[in-house]
Every structure is written in structure tokens, then in C-alpha cells.
Amino acid sequence: MNVSEWIQVAVLALIQGLSEFLPISSSAHLILPAQVLNWEDQGLAFDVGVHLGTLVAVLIYFRQDIKQMFLAWIQSIQGVQSPEGTLSWLVIIGTLPAVIAGALFVGLIETWGRSILVIASTTLIFAAVMGWADIKRTEQRELKQINMKDAIWIGLAQALSIIPGTSRSGATITMALLLGFDRASAARFSFLLSIPVTFGAVS
């Protein structure tokens, strides 16, 4: 790669690092520089690749939770039930809608989704929904009260994030708030849910 391409990679990596953990679409913010600065579109494969750094950061931060959940999941297969084991299964269930949506629509998104019009529209729409959900939140439930129905609804919200401009964390946290979870529980489940879907995307 030449110098300008290295600069482009560095800028996009910085944008990914700054935007991924905020309830804004990091994928959209990776697309916009190419549109605004007249760079060659780096493509969906590059966008997925830089999410590897995000995955590593989440794995490090939640390493104790992941260890406990994995061991509890193994025990649940052996018939020993626990809250951590149940949470592990719910993360898996919540991941399925995004896996299905990605398999069905990745070509469509690659062809038609990477435009300023799509990004601007989805950003405005989901920002409004997120603001409304935050205003209407009741915060009556904790993560230990999550069930299969909740996991499916939050997973469906995550599936929408394949559309550029739709924040994965924003969509999942918004749905969790609408289901009555407190902010901390909504954020924790959102980040746990990001692990398998991001791992699958970068594999």
C-alpha cells in the first residue's frame, strides 16, 4: 500500500475505535469518509475486519463474565442449570436473527446500503427511536429477569444493524429499554450479544 492508503486505514481504524462503543453506527462512520473525501470505498470486508479490534476489547473487558458463562453453559448441557448458563443460551438465541439476516441480505446491503442517503435516513430514524425509548424507559427489570422472548426481541433489533447507519448497540439497548430493563442491564446484554455476532462476522 502507498502512503495515502495507510493514512486512510489509520483514519478508519481511529473512527472505528472511537465510535464502536457509542450508540452510533460505527459501520456508517466507516463509510462516510470515503463518500465525503472521495476515497475508494474500502468495502464490507474491511469494515468487518476492523471489528476484530472491537471483539478483542470486549473479550478482554468481559473475560471473567465470559469464563463463568462458558463453564455454566457446559454444565447446562450436562443438566446442571444456573443463571449464568441460562444467560449463555439466551445470548446464543439472541444472536440467531442477526446470523439469518446477514446470510440473507449481505449482498443487498453491499450493493445498495452503502450510500449517504441510506446512512442519513437510518441514523435519523433510529436516533429518534432511541431518544423516545430513553424518555419512556421504566427500568423495572434487571438482567437476571431476562427470558427467551426478550432475547428474541433484542436479537431482532440487533439484526437491523446490518443496515448501515443503524447502531448495533443502539438498537439492542433501545429494545431492552422498551422491554423494561434498566440501562446497565441493557448495555451489558448488548455487549455480550456483540461477541458471537462479531466473531462470526470476522471469521
pLDDT value, residue 30: 72
Which residues are CB-neighbours of 141 under 8 A, at least 6 positions away?
179, 180, 181, 182, 185
Cell numbers at 138, concatenated: 421504566
Total of domains in the chain: 1
Helix pair 183-202, 83-108: axis angle to 10 deg: 50
pTM, rounded to two decimals: 0.83
Residue 31, pLDDT score: 73
Q: Which of 73, 9, 93 lies closest to 46, judged by CA? A: 9
pLDDT in the model for residue 77: 94
C-alpha cell at 35: 463518500
d(Cα 154, Cα 149) in Å, to the nearest integer?
Answer: 9
Strand partners, 181: 141
Eight-class DSSP state of 181: B
Rounded average pLDDT per 10-residue block, the chain, 203 residues? 73 76 72 74 68 83 93 94 95 94 80 75 88 90 96 95 85 95 94 87 67
CA distances from 114 to 38, 117, 123 (A): 14, 9, 13
Neighbours of 92 (CB within 10 A): 14
Domain that residue 48 falls in:
3-202
* Main-chain dihedrals φ then ψ at residue 141, nearest 5 degrees: -125, 150
